[in-house]
Amino acid sequence: MWDQAVYAFQAMLQSSGGASWFEIALKFFPFAVVLELPMYVLVVLGMVRYGLRQVTPLRQRERYPRVSCIITCYSEGEDVRQTIYSLAHQVYPGVIEIIPIIDGAVQNEHTLQAARACTEAVAGLARRQLVVVPKWQRGGRVSALNTGLQFATGEVVMALDGDTSFDNDMVRQATRHFDDPNVVGVAGCLRVRNAARSLAARLQALEYMLSIGAGKTGLSEFNLVNNISGAFGVFRTAFVRRIGGWDAGTAEDLDITLRIKQYFGRYPDLRIVFEPHAVGHTDAPHTFAGFFKQRLRWEGDLFYLFVRKYRYNLRPRLLGWRNFLFVLVNGLFLQLVMPFVIVAYTGVLFWTLPAGSVLGVLAYVYLIYLAALALYYGLYVIAVSERPRDDFMYLVYLPLFPLFAFAARVHSSLALMQEMFLKGHLDSSMAPWWVLRKTKF
């Protein structure tokens, strides 16, 4: 078998030596070349553009809008203190209003008491206000966000997780974009706080760098940010109220992103920006089992939103042609169809070729992917990262990432099938079943 693998790998390399790029492309995942390579190039060009813009110094700010930070809390316990203190000690001269919403406060008294214990410390800080809101009946994340929106008095509102902490310049970095009246949302950059705990957490930390830090930076340059993270989203308060706040159901982050984008067709100057230097730190699952369980919901939610909820709203008249084509390619094809194509392609390889030959072909594909990944990663560290030395240390894990990404894409097909046939979004941990089952979708 190993002889077959070596022979197949050598044959791929030798035939590539005198072949055109198009012929080489056809030898590995042609569907990826047709659709994933253009997306890769788009993001790379965006990162280059971002890096060149950083050469010009930022202009002096003249205004610091009042900020309301809605923290959705359910079972964080003492961890909520870290979130509150990281917001209270921001190096931001404007007013920061911190609003922890304790969802299901009856059964989460520990979290409620931990939040209330911060009152005295925050009260001693200038321009910082803490308003702890006990929400006695649990209604889920969306219910907590909309409750917090009623208390928010800031020009800018942040939707934050109760177990996420932030760099002390996060508010300053995120709010500067709202000097542009066309910016209605800012996506913050998330990093994995517990990366040192296990290999699974380190690979997720690398994934966050590549998909969030690098990917959203590139997409933001073309006003194509795909999602404002639920753990760290920043919005113009008046606009969120105008569209009715957050909508009931799961995947509220992608949901509100799509709803905002439905105004882009009529108001083409509106923008969603990604700020790579506004950084939040969150804990990722530290085991591979926990990772795949989390992604079962995340990936299934994509089908729920794109197909079940918004299939009639994905139109150029609403989204604008640029975002319509992006959602069509990146959202529908690459996220919903591509996992099945990868599984089918791999299955056909094993069905039609000897096992050794398949290993040789996949080794060739792996090297091509790794080379592209190294370029992508290097550009991110040089042009985008606010912690280049720390991020450079992840270079040692780069050879494992193609295998990790492949496993995640295969698992994605299972998550999508669960949503297709079992409506997995109705079992989401984001809200109680009695809330999810009363919604239209």
* pLDDT of amino acid 336: 93
> What would the mean pLDDT of 304-310 be, rounded to a whole number?
93
Determine which of 18-32, 278-292, 371-385 has the lowest per-residue pLDDT on average: 18-32
pLDDT at 199 over 90: yes
404: amino acid identity, one letter? F
Confidence band of 9 (pLDDT split at 50, 70, 90)? low
pLDDT at 309 over 70: yes
**Cβ atoms < 10 Å from Cβ of 10:** 12
> What would the mean pLDDT of 57-82 be, rounded to a whole number?
90
State the Cα–Cα distance between residues 174 and 65, nearest whole angstrom: 11
> What would the mean pLDDT of 164-175 be, rounded to a whole number?
96
How far CA 89 is from CA of 50, 279, 331, in Å, comes to 29, 14, 38
Q: Which residues pair with 97 in a beta bridge?
A: 68, 129
pLDDT at 75 over 80: yes
Confidence band of 16 (pLDDT split at 50, 70, 90)? low
pLDDT at 391 over 60: yes
pLDDT at 18 over 70: no
State the Cα–Cα distance between residues 113 and 4, nearest whole angstrom: 64
pLDDT at 73 over 70: yes
Residue 119 DSSP symbol: H
Q: What percent of the chain has pLDDT over 70?
A: 92
State the Cα–Cα distance between residues 114 and 79, nearest whole angstrom: 8
DSSP assignment of 134-156 equals EE-S---HHHHHHHHHHH--SSE
State the Cα–Cα distance between residues 85 and 81, nearest whole angstrom: 6
Closest CA to 278 of 353, 361, 189, 366: 189
Q: Residue 438, SS3?
A: coil
Confidence band of 147 (pLDDT split at 50, 70, 90)? very high
State the Cα–Cα distance between residues 295 and 245, nearest whole angstrom: 26
**Higher-pLDDT residue of 15, 280:** 280
Domain-by-domain residue ranges, the chain?
Answer: 1-54+180-441
Closest CA to 380 of 189, 176, 174, 187: 189
Helix-strand-coil split of the chain, %, nearest 5: 60, 15, 30
Q: Which tens digits make up the pLDDT trace of 177-197?
A: 999 999 999 999 999 999 999
Q: Which tens digits make up the pLDDT trace of 224-280?
A: 999 999 999 999 999 999 999 999 777 899 999 999 999 999 999 999 999 999 999
State the Cα–Cα distance between residues 357 and 66, nearest whole angstrom: 62
State the Cα–Cα distance between residues 347 and 161, nearest whole angstrom: 40
Q: How many CA atoms lie within 13 A of 338 on its CB side?
A: 22
> What would the mean pLDDT of 202-207 be, rounded to a whole number?
98
pLDDT at 21 over 50: no
* pLDDT of amino acid 2: 59
Confidence band of 8 (pLDDT split at 50, 70, 90)? low
pLDDT at 138 over 60: yes
Confidence band of 13 (pLDDT split at 50, 70, 90)? low
> What would the mean pLDDT of 407-436 be, rounded to a whole number?
87
Confidence band of 388 (pLDDT split at 50, 70, 90)? very high
Indicate the average pLDDT of the chain.
90
State the Cα–Cα distance between residues 159 and 175, nearest whole angstrom: 13
> What would the mean pLDDT of 214-229 be, rounded to a whole number?
97
Confidence band of 33 (pLDDT split at 50, 70, 90)? low
C-alpha angle 299-197-388 in degrees, rounded to nearest 5: 80
* pLDDT of amino acid 30: 46
Q: Which tens digits make up the pLDDT trace of 332-376?
A: 989 999 899 888 888 887 888 777 777 877 887 888 889 889 999
pLDDT at 14 over 70: no
* pLDDT of amino acid 432: 79
Confidence band of 216 (pLDDT split at 50, 70, 90)? very high
396: amino acid identity, one letter? V
* pLDDT of amino acid 379: 97
Which residues touch 152 (CB under 8 Å, ≥6 apart)?
68, 70, 97, 99, 237
